[in-house]
Homo-oligomer: A and B are copies of this chain.
C-alpha cells in the first residue's frame, strides 16, 4: 500500500504553475492536492512544513528553471547581441509566450512578499545582475547598464500584467521583440 503517485520534481513543477496562476493566498492545499493527485494528508508527508515549505520548494525549482532559461544564456559565449537574443527566447519560453505569470511578480502582489521577502529580492537581483553584466560587456558603464537591466525586468513584469488585464498577449510579444535593441541602444 502506498506506491508513489508522482515524482517529487514533477509535483513541484505542477504546483509552481498553480502558484503562478492563483498567487500565494489563492493557492490552497486543496488545489495543490488536485494538481498533484496527492491527498492533503500526503502532502504533509512530502512537505512537513506545509504550504510554506511547498512554496519554498517552488521558489527553488522555479529558480533553477529561470537560471537555465534566462540567466545562463546571458553568461554563455557570444556577442552581447547574440546573448540577448538567446535571453529573449528563454524569457518567451519561461512565460509561455506571455500566457504564464511570473512567480516573483505574482508572489509580490498576492501575499508572498511578507513571507519570502529575501527570496524574492535575491531572485530579482540575480536576474538584474546577469543582465547588467551582459550590458557592461557591450560597452555600457556599470550604472547605465544596471539601470537598463532593472528597466528591462520591470518592463517584462509590466507587460505580463497589462497583457493579462487586456486579455491578450500581443503587448508582451511586442515588448519582448524590441527589448534587445533598446537595451543596446547607442552601443550596438
Contacts and interface: CB of A to CB of B under 8 A. Distances in A.
A150 interface: yes
A164 B164 CA distance: 20
Nearest to A153: B162
A52 B139 CA distance: 52
Interface residues of A, number: 38
A67 interface: no
Interface string A135-163: 00000000000010011011111110110
Interface of A: 22-23, 25-26, 101, 104-106, 108-111, 113, 117, 120-121, 123-125, 147, 150-151, 153-159, 161-162, 164-167, 171, 174-175
